Structure 1
Amino acid sequence: MTRPYAGPVRPTLYEFAGGEPAFLALAAAHHARCLADPELNHPFSHPGQHPQHVERLAAYWAEVLGGPPLYSRERHGDQTGLIAMHSGNGEMTDLARRFVECFVLAADDAGLPTDPEFRAALRAYMEWAVVEFTAYPDHDTRPPDGLAVPHWSWDGLR
């Protein structure tokens, strides 16, 4: 397979996407798509959502995909807290599928590079992530403490 970058050091997915502005655009486009989706609308429009949800989401995705650890450094939480926040909601198979599709389409909306290997890496990350975030559907289950923010590369989870 041809690599999308021929330089001496391959950029991270974060760098290849275009850095912080690209992730802010991706998070905003994804949020808008989720609000427009008749099934995803409810979890994305509830009144308790943090006013900086889009910015935090952008910082989280950026950190996971090779950017600076702004999400972790600003103490927004760790992976355990994020998974716990999304747990206890019952079976979410269709919502997870819809979430991934909104993410893939949001990459277009945000003008991210269309390189097939890059897009495959983004999709693979989000498919993995929705499994992680929906792994605790019951109210009485909780993820283990101390999970660090994951790191995803061109080759998958590191």
Structure 2
Amino acid sequence: MTSVYESAGGREGMRRLAHAWHERVMADEVVAHAFHHGFHPQHTERLAAYWGEALGGPADYSRGLGDESRVLRMHSGEGVHEDMDRRAIACFDLALADVGLADAEPLRGVLHDYFAWVTTEWMTRYPHDADAVPTGLAVPRWSWDGRQQDQ
């Protein structure tokens, strides 16, 4: 069976989606606040590598950019921000349309579910203390059936 990553266009599809999402969040007055401190010049490429790995692609993020503990620490310690999370998900859904995946079922639904889960459940696990994130975590994997527990 083709992976979610492959169905979404592989490495180039992840880059297009990450770019479209980033453009959308930077235009959103609430979500853009998450980037008020700036961001890495290759933010969208790094994000694409992370999403690609999570969705069944190569482990480019883990091999060259860091582990899941690093990602969680970047997203932790800022408190609870439910409105921002909802808006980030809405931006993701619009980005899916921007890259031509809005009508590509079941792919669109799987990508939405992944992003909603990672945004509202996974990245919010340590809202008050980034130092509480355990070391050595692996990027969580997601497939057509949702989160893959045996990593």
TM-score, scaled relative to structure 2? 0.91
Q: Deviations over 1:96-117 (max 9, x none)?
A: 1111111111011122362221
User: In 1, distance between residues paired with 2:36 and 2:18?
Assistant: 15
Matching residue of 2:2? 11
Q: 1:33 to 1:143 in 2, by over 3 A?
A: same
User: In 2, distance between residues paired with 1:11 and 1:20?
Assistant: 14
Q: Which amino acid aligns with 1:16?
A: S
TM-score, scaled relative to structure 1? 0.87
Matching residue of 1:97? 86
Correspondence for 2:132 among 136, 142, 155: 142
Displaced runs of 4 or more, over 6 A: none
Q: What is the CA distance between 1:46 and its match in structure 2?
A: 2.7
User: In 1, distance between residues paired with 2:68 and 2:41?
Assistant: 20
Q: Which amino acid aligns with 2:122?
A: E
Matching residue of 2:97? 108
Query: Which residues of 2 match residues 39-50 of structure 1 at below 5 A?
Result: 39-47=30-38, 49-50=39-40
Q: Deviations over 1:58-80 (max 9, x none)?
A: 01001110111111111x11111
Are positions 1:37 and 2:28 aligned together?
yes
Q: 1:154 to 1:50 in 2, by over 3 A?
A: same
Give identity over the alignment, percent: 47
Are positions 1:66 and 2:59 aligned together?
no
Correspondence for 2:70 among 78, 81, 87: 81
Q: What stretches of structure 2 of length at least 5 have no aligned partner? A: none
Residues 64 and 150, structure 1, Cα contact 8 Å, conserved in 2: yes
The count of corresponding residues between Structure 1 and Structure 2 is 147
Which has the higher Rg, Structure 1 or Structure 2?
1
Q: Which amino acid aligns with 1:93?
A: E
Moved more, 97-106 or 114-123: 114-123
- Aligned CA RMSD, in angstroms, stands at 1.4
Residues 89 and 138, structure 1, Cα contact 8 Å, conserved in 2: yes
User: In 2, distance between residues paired with 1:110 and 1:117?
Assistant: 16
